[in-house]
Amino acid sequence: MVDLILQCRWILERRAVMGLLAVNLSLGCAATSWDRVAPPVEMLVLGDAVDDSERKAALERGRMVYLVDCSKCHVPEPILTYSVQDWGHILPEMIEETSLTAEKEADLRRYVESVLQLGADAAG
Ligand code: HEC
């Protein structure tokens, strides 16, 4: 499964470079619906006024923590299934279950918060 995730990420990252050809390739990825579980970082940084590569890198790491570390015991659920209030108690509990390093915890929190913000923006 990790292979699949990494492969999809590889394809997504190269979509910009390879253009149309890769768009066709990435259709296979969309079918796995990881983008629905954990929205790709491109969606989170769309509104950024400046190209902040540090933020992007942290969000990418956080997304991988969600899809890899957080899927040890169960399939990761779409983040937007739960409200900000729900995550307020779920996240600390699950971070404890996962025994994350401080760095991974910070990246994960940043990623999940950004996704929830995206959800709030989308809801208007
Ligand atoms: C050691 C096993 C384990 C790991 C690792 C783990 N979980 Fe869970 N998770 C559970 C169990 C068991 C439940 C259901 C019962 C409960 O809520 O404790 C659950 C439930 C959930 C739920 C459903 C909401 C709820 O409270 O019932 C979400 C969302 C969730 N986990 C997210 C995560 C995230 C995010 C991570 C990574 C930080 C993670 N989990 C890591 C065991 C784990």
Per the structure, the complete domain to which residue 57 belongs is given by: 34-123
Looking at the structure, tell me whether residues 81 and 118 fall in a common domain: yes
- 73/49 Cα distance (integer angstroms): 38
Q: Are residues 28 and 42 in the same domain?
A: no
Pocket test for ligand 1, best of 64, 69, 74 (most atoms within 8 A of CB): 74
pTM across the whole model: 0.79
- Please tell me whether residues 22 and 10 are part of one structural domain: yes
d(CA 45, CA 18): 21
Amino acid residing at 66:
Y
- For residue 39, what are its two tokens? 């929205």
C-alpha dihedral, 95 to 109 to 72 to 90, nearest 10°: 50
Are 16 and 40 in the same domain? no
The stretches in the chain having pLDDT less than 70 are: 1-32
> Nearest 5 degrees, angle CA 83-CA 39-CA 90?
35
Give 46-75 pLDDT, tens digit per residue. Answer: 888 888 999 999 999 999 999 999 999 999
**Which residue among 37, 91, 94, 111 has the greatest number of ligand 1 atoms within 8 angstroms of its CB, and so is best to mutate?**
94
Q: Assess whether 26 and 44 both reside in one domain.
A: no
SS3 of residue 19 by DSSP: coil
Answer yes or no: do 117 and 60 share one domain: yes
Residue 73 tokens read as 């015991």
| Count of domains observed in the chain | 2
Looking at the structure, do residues 22 and 83 belong to the same domain, yes or no? Answer: no
Residues 20, 46 share a domain: no
Q: What's the pLDDT score for residue 5?
A: 54
> What is the identity of the amino acid at 98?
T
- Contact (Cβ atoms closer than 8 angstroms) between residue 22 and residue 85: no
Residue written as token pair 């990623």: 111
